[in-house]
Amino acid sequence: MTSATITTEMQTLKDRIMELQSALFFNESKSIVKLPTHVISDVELDNEGSIWFVIPKPSMHIEAYDKEIPAKLDFFKKGTDFFVKVRGTAFLQTEISGELLSAEMRERLTNADVILVKVQVQESELVDNSPKPKQNWLQASRSQLSSWFF
């Protein structure tokens, strides 16, 4: 694959994620102390293809959790004909350095009850969920018969 193809695919993925904006964040760690599943919204993507968002700070002390965890994000939105599945490594962060994120995300981080999560995307899948055209009974039976005999 050429870098132009990868860049185009990455841009398509970014556009779709930004359109959906909501996801379920799953911790896929085998650790005993795991973050619970969270519904997330207001995600941001950086130029490296990482996904950033905030979640409520867990009740246990943050040091009890692994700093790097395998994670899955399922992006969805009611009424759309697609969804996006992402797998990668999530990094739990209590602060941010540099100018990677927007002012809105930085403002959310001033709340002491949230932590920042960065997910480095390792694999992604754009799933088409558009309704399939219905066949009438004659077409369905003809197709069933042909599959039996041919």
31 within 8 A of 53, measured Cβ to Cβ: no
Task: Determine which of 10-19, 58-67, 90-99, 136-145 has the lowest per-residue pLDDT on average.
Answer: 136-145
CB 20 within 8 A of CB 5: no
**Residue matched to tokens 């039996």:** 148
The share of the chain scoring above pLDDT 70, in percent, equals: 81
Q: Tally the C-alpha atoms within 13 A of residue 95's C-alpha that lie toward its C-beta.
A: 2
| pTM of the model as a whole | 0.75
pLDDT band for position 32 (cuts 50, 70, 90): confident
- The region, left, alpha or beta by phi > 0 then psi within -120 to 50, assigned to residue 42 is left
b/e per residue 109-130 (b: at least 16 CB within 10 A) = beeeeebbbbbebeebeeeeee
Quickly state the pLDDT bin for 98 (edges 50, 70, 90).
low
The answer, yes or no, to whether residue 86 has pLDDT greater than 90, is yes
pLDDT of the residue at 95:
72
Better pLDDT: 128 or 23: 23
As a whole number, mean pLDDT of residues 53-73 equals 84
Tens digit of each residue's pLDDT (9 = 90 or more) over 131-146:
666 666 667 767 776 6
Whether residue 60 is predicted with pLDDT greater than 80 in this model: the reply is: no
Q: Which of the 8 DSSP states describes residue 79?
A: T
Residue 119: what pLDDT? 93
All domains of the chain in start order, with CATH: 3-149 (2.30.110.10)
150 has pLDDT over 70: no
Is residue 112 pLDDT above 80, yes or no?
no
User: How confident is residue 48, by pLDDT bands cut at 50, 70 and 90?
Assistant: confident
Residue 148 vs residues 136, 140, 142, 143: alpha-carbon distances, Å: 19, 13, 10, 9
